[in-house]
Amino acid sequence: MRLTSIHTYPIKGCHRLDHDGAFVHPWGLAGDRRWMVVDADGVGVTQRETTRLVGLRASVRPGGLSLRADGQPDLDVPEPAGGEPIGVRTFRSRKFPVPALPAGPAADEWLGTLLGRPVRLVWLAQPTRHLAAGDREHDTGDQVSFADAYPLLLANAASLDALNDWLADAGEEPVPMTRFRPNLVVAGAPAWAEDDWVGRPLRIGDRRFRAAGPCERCVVTTTDQETGVRTKEPLRTLGRHRNVKQKLLFGLNLVPLDSGLITVDAPIVVAP
């Protein structure tokens, strides 16, 4: 098995960035989901609520972000150097907020224009727990970005091929891997082999990870990541073939055990 692609999402819900290599931190890949758009209540705004986020292209630069979107001027946003943190939550149902720093009115206005609603952009200066201990079978520890639950998401190319075969049998169009917004994509494993990796350590190049459980999928997978057009697939087909205890599964959550660089084409080894 080998690593075939690496992706980050600088702002939660934004368009992906593709990389040849990335540095792994305890909370995930460098530059991945350290920023989040929040509503007036401090709750994260994601593609679940608005598909307009697919048009948000954020790139990490030293000391901040550069924002791009069709029809709007580019905007550089510095990492907040100080100020009073505000409590934010990745989801309204989360039990406790985490402190984040506001990016400022220029970013808020820019994003408000893009999304058509009042919002704020915040930065997670210190990755921290936003899920209560015990809420997941394989706990993430205290260092997590604004990712939904786990630092990293891995997807298996052969599993996507199998899903697309099911879609073809149903007379539906195939979907690309981008629908699942993974950080890491692997090739060379059989379809659904990742189901058997749960709870086991694995190595990508020289870096160790723990397979923390399958990923439950939501309506974001039905959103074309280039156009924002939303349909019923692949969730409908996952519901027929990958429904486990009312959870539609695709992908594998990972927790890093080491820090350091990983690169595309690195070998992947799963411990027995």
Q: What is the DSSP string of 241-257?
A: HSEETTEEEEEEEEEES
pLDDT for residue 133 is more than 70: no
Q: Positive or negative CA dihedral for 112, 60, 69, 50?
A: negative
- Give the pLDDT band of residue 138 (cuts 50, 70, 90): low
* Class of the CATH domain delimited by 2-270: mainly beta
> Order of strands, edge to edge, in the sheet holding 28-29?
28-29, 21-25, 260-263
The SS3 assignment for 269 reads strand
Beta-carbon-side half-sphere exposure of residue 161 (alpha carbons within 13 Å): 12
pLDDT for residue 3 is more than 90: yes
pLDDT at 45: 97
Burial pattern 105-123, b for ≥16 Cβ within 10 A else e, equals eebbebbbebbeeebbbbb
Cα end-to-end distance, the chain, whole Å: 15
Q: Which of 133-137, 171-175, 204-208, 252-256 has the lowest mean pLDDT?
A: 133-137
- Neighbouring-strand partners of residue 202: 209, 270
Amino acid at 137: E
What percent of the chain is predicted at pLDDT more than 90?
86
pLDDT for residue 153 is more than 60: yes
- Give the pLDDT band of residue 12 (cuts 50, 70, 90): very high
- Give the pLDDT band of residue 203 (cuts 50, 70, 90): very high
CA distances from 48 to 52, 82, 84, 119, 164 (A): 10, 31, 29, 15, 23
pLDDT at 132: 61
Pairing of strands 184-187, 152-156: parallel
Cα–Cα distance between 265 and 176 in angstroms, integer?
Answer: 20
Amino acid at 68: R
pLDDT for residue 139 is more than 80: no
Q: Positive or negative CA dihedral for 238, 240, 241, 242?
A: positive
CA distances from 40 to 49, 90, 95, 112, 199 (A): 14, 13, 17, 12, 38
- Give the pLDDT band of residue 257 (cuts 50, 70, 90): very high
- pLDDT (average), residues 159-179: 98
CA distances from 209 to 28, 141, 143, 156, 262 (A): 11, 13, 14, 16, 12
Task: Judge whether 113 and 214 are in contact, CB under 8 Å.
Answer: no
Cα–Cα distance between 38 and 61 in angstroms, integer?
Answer: 22
* Mean of pLDDT over the chain: 94
- pLDDT (average), residues 154-173: 98
- Give the pLDDT band of residue 92 (cuts 50, 70, 90): confident
Q: Positive or negative CA dihedral for 108, 113, 119, 122?
A: negative
